[in-house]
Amino acid sequence: MLRQTVITALVVLQTAASVQSRKTCTVVAGGSNETDDAPAIINAFKDCGHGGRVVFQPTTYYVNSVMNITWLDDVKIDLYGKLLWSNDIPYWLNNSLDVGYQNQSTAFILGGDKVHLNGHGNGTLDGNGDFWYAWIRQQPNTSNYPGRPHAITFNGLRNSVVEGLNFLRSQMWTMSIIYSHYVELNDIFINNTGNTVSSSNTDGADTIRSSHIKFDNWTVYNGDDSISIKANSTDISITNSKFFNGLGIALGSIGQLNDQYETIERVRVDNVQFHNTLHAFYVKTWTDDQNGYPPNGGGGGLGYAADLELTNLETTSIRGAALASESPGVFQFPLGQVSDLITPDAPET
């Protein structure tokens, strides 16, 4: 009894000490979209991005310019407020940062080792996407428009946890995850439903050249892939999640990059519900002949997907086949193990 008390007291003291010893930077908001909060945010990560803590207060921060924050090491980020991106589309088309894959670009890069980004359920990244969804409708090419940015790109993020965050109306894809390893993304809510026109190209998340990525307790309302597992993704799990209105979980595209070899291995999907999505799980492949360039064209690449395990998938009002492949004959189910697939109302295909 006494021994237990002593141990408890010690634990409490240690926790208090480690919180106290962290240098903390609280980001001060400018308070209007006429002032750009990006420089203050970048400075907070410069001052407290090594062994420190960065706090966003429960208010709105206006982000009018790109942020490329890659140097984090052992940092806690508490996001109690909202980051709201500007609607200056010409600026973003000119200045969005290269993601390093498929000619894609992004508004915000975050990377480093031992990062704990916690939104505590309230923290929000708002892409102001209603402007993008209306604008893209007027363009001749509406898919993967060059320079249209992802809301956030985790690049080189390692041994990290991202949790309790909301993403509203992302400009394009919500999140690209590239060169990242051992990252858990828990309790994430995404709503890319447009208020005026419906959204397109608003993937929930895309993994590229990454491993040991865990998606747990995601809720995604969107107009494209709910989550897409792309080139050289290994050891990916998606659990306890709900996807609404999008296309479902996508594997690939595989073979889009000419003469490049791409693999996807060890994917686990368990306990996921699909409401009004096109598929539950589908494979995108490209043919042998190259036809244009990514992101809209491609082909000529090689690759394979192996060791997929899908369990406890449940669909309601699904719009297409629960399991599908864009190139029949190239990929055939079962690719791996599929079990406990509940599709009460799936159309016959």
- 117, 231, 264, 313: which one binds ligand NAG (CB under 6 A): 231
Among 230, 226, 235, which residue's Cα sits nearest to residue 266? 235
User: Segment 41-70, which members bind ligand NAG (CB under 6 A)?
Assistant: 68, 70
Using the contact rule CB under 6 A, the part of the chain among 3-11, 18-26, 92-100, 314-322 near ligand NAG is 92-100
Q: Least distance from C-beta 185 to ligand NAG, angstroms? A: 11
| Residue 26 near ligand NAG by CB under 6 A | no
**Counting contacts by CB under 6 A, is residue 293 touching ligand NAG?**
yes
Q: Rule CB under 6 A: which of 320-349 touch ligand NAG? A: none
Shortest distance, CB of residue 323 to ligand NAG, whole angstroms? 25
Q: Per rule CB under 6 A, is residue 203 in the interface with ligand NAG?
A: no
Kindly report the three-state secondary structure assignment for every residue of the chain: CHHHHHHHHHHHHHHHHHHHCCCEEEECCCCCCCCCCHHHHHHHHHHHCECCEEEECCCEEEECCCEEEEEEEEEEEEECCEEEECCCHHHHHHHCEECCCCCCEECEEEEEEEEEEECCCCCEEECCHHHHHHHHCCCCCCCCCCCCEECEEEEEEEEEEEECCEEECCCCCCEEEECCEEEEEEEEEEECCCCCCCCCCCCCCEEECEEEEEEEEEEEECCCEEEEECCCEEEEEEEEEEEECCCEEEEEEECCCCCCEEEEEEEEEEEEEEECCCCCEEEEECCCCCECCCCCCECCCEEEEEEEEEEEEEEECCCCCCEEECCECCECCCCCEEEEEECCCCCCC
- Counting every residue written for the chain, the total comes to 349
Of the candidates 79, 69, 78, 83, the residue with the CA atom closest to the CA atom of residue 112 = 69
Selected from 22, 24, 30, 33, the binder of ligand NAG by CB under 6 A is: 33
Task: Give yes or no for residue 97 binding ligand NAG (CB under 6 A).
Answer: yes
Residue 104 or 325: the one with the smaller Cβ distance to ligand NAG is: 104
* 291 binds ligand NAG per the rule CB under 6 A: no
Q: Of the candidates 232, 241, 245, 273, which one interacts with ligand NAG according to CB under 6 A?
A: 232
Among residues 294, 314, 324, 338, the one that binds ligand NAG under rule CB under 6 A: 294
Q: Is 217 in the site for ligand NAG (CB under 6 A)?
A: yes
88 touches ligand NAG (CB under 6 A): yes
From 6-14, 39-47, 102-110, 316-324, give the range in contact with ligand NAG by CB under 6 A.
Answer: 102-110
In the residue annotation, 78 being an active-site residue is answered as: no
Does 276 participate in binding ligand NAG (rule CB under 6 A)? Answer: no
Is residue 132 close enough to count as binding ligand NAG by CB under 6 A?
Answer: no
Q: Point out which residues bind ligand NAG (CB under 6 A).
A: 33, 68, 70-71, 80, 86-88, 90-91, 94, 97-98, 102-103, 109, 120, 122, 140-141, 146, 187, 189, 191, 193, 195, 209, 217, 219, 221, 231-232, 257, 260-262, 293-294
Q: Which residues are catalytic?
A: 224
